[in-house]
Amino acid sequence: MMKLKGIAWLMLLGILLLPGPAVPAQPDRKSSAEEKKLAEASGKVEEQRKQEAAKREAWKGNKPKEEEVPVPAGEFFMGCNEQVDAECNDDEKPGRRVYVKAFKIDKTEVTVAQYRQCVEAGACNGDGLTMPFWAGADNEEHPEWAWACNWGKAERESHPINCLTWEQARAYCAWVGKRLPTEAEWEKAARGTDGRKYPWGNQGYGVVGQVANIADETAKRNQPNWAVATGYDDGYYGTAPVGSFPAGASPYGALDMAGNVWQWTADWYDDDHKFRAERGGSWFNQPSFTRASTRYGDAPTLRGISTGFRCVQ
């Protein structure tokens, strides 16, 4: 009994000697001035967030409304059709039948005014849009050609946006809920299913009237050494307002699928993935470059005076 009582006493003593609960440290109290500064900073951050959210909300219903033309699913003739075209390059061969799913493509190229909305919304950037940069060629800016860049020139709001990189074009299409077309999509929209040489058919420039903005007699008067469409005059040296040549419409109603500006596509031009494919030719090019099957490749960082884009979905 005495032994048990001793053990019980020791246990009781141990309990009494156990440390009590820790007393939490009192937080440092900031001065009223510091608290006021923190509150003001927090308020500014919250106000900035509200303004940004309001801006995003405001742009939801105000994105550009590009007119589109539908292109049905099915096969079409892609590449060189030697039965109607003797000007094909090797990169267009062989001609073949290709299946494409249904899609919609912008009726015209994206304009300066439309791209401006994307910049103002903060989804696109205007970096370099006023200065040509020939990436992949001499990798230098060319101020002597800056007059041909349409950004910042009030009278060209309805012209295609040009002098922009592949990434800038991609970002715009993503902002409006679309994407850049594949080469197959672009070519089908340009020539339909029958393998025609041009969007309007197989008759060349000068036979069917004014159908596209290409290197012509007007360009020749400004650049005597250029190769041009002899006898053909579309009246432009530089880009034209989009949709200026309805007679050159494709079978699906897409305009400017030949000339005005080359158009960036989603595809790589080469197996080494150094160049992005462009289609359509431009105001800068002679007729052989403005056929429906013509392909070209440029470095994605090119800002070309003759390069723009359109989107699909």
Per-residue pLDDT tens for 99-153? 999 999 999 999 999 999 999 999 999 999 999 999 999 999 999 999 999 999 9
- Rounded CA separation 212/247 (Å): 8
pTM, to two decimals: 0.81
**Cα 238–chain centre separation:** 21
| pLDDT for res 73 | 98
Structure tokens at 1: 């009994």
Pairing relation of β-strands 307-308 and 262-268?
parallel
Alpha helices in 61-95 (DSSP H): none
Residue 8 lies in a domain: no
User: pLDDT category, 39, cuts 50, 70, 90?
Assistant: low
End-to-end Cα distance, the chain: 93
User: pLDDT category, 18, cuts 50, 70, 90?
Assistant: very low
- In the chain, the number of structural domains is 1
Is the pLDDT reported for residue 203 higher than 90?
yes
- Rounded CA separation 18/102 (Å): 79
User: How much of the chain, in percent, has pLDDT values that exceed 70?
Assistant: 82
SS3 276: strand
Residue 154 lies in a domain: yes
> Any idea what DSSP says for residue 307?
E
Q: What is the mean pLDDT of the chain?
A: 88
Residue 84 lies in a domain: yes
| pLDDT for res 28 | 47
Residue 132 structural domain: 63-308
Strands of 72-202 (E only): list them: 74-78, 96-100, 103-106
Residue 229 lies in a domain: yes
Residue 217 lies in a domain: yes
Nearest Cα residue to 232 out of 253, 258, 264, 255: 258
SS3 268: strand
Is the pLDDT reported for residue 237 higher than 70?
yes
pLDDT in tens, 43-101: 776 775 565 445 445 565 578 888 999 999 999 999 999 999 999 999 999 999 999 99
Question: How many other C-beta atoms lie within 10 A of the C-beta of residue 34?
Answer: 10
Residue 30 lies in a domain: no
Contact residues for 233 (Cβ-Cβ < 8 A; gap 6+): 216, 217, 218
Residue 192 lies in a domain: yes
- CATH code for position 80: 3.90.1580.10
- Beta-carbon-side half-sphere exposure of residue 198 (alpha carbons within 13 Å): 22
User: How much of the chain, in percent, has pLDDT values that exceed 90?
Assistant: 79
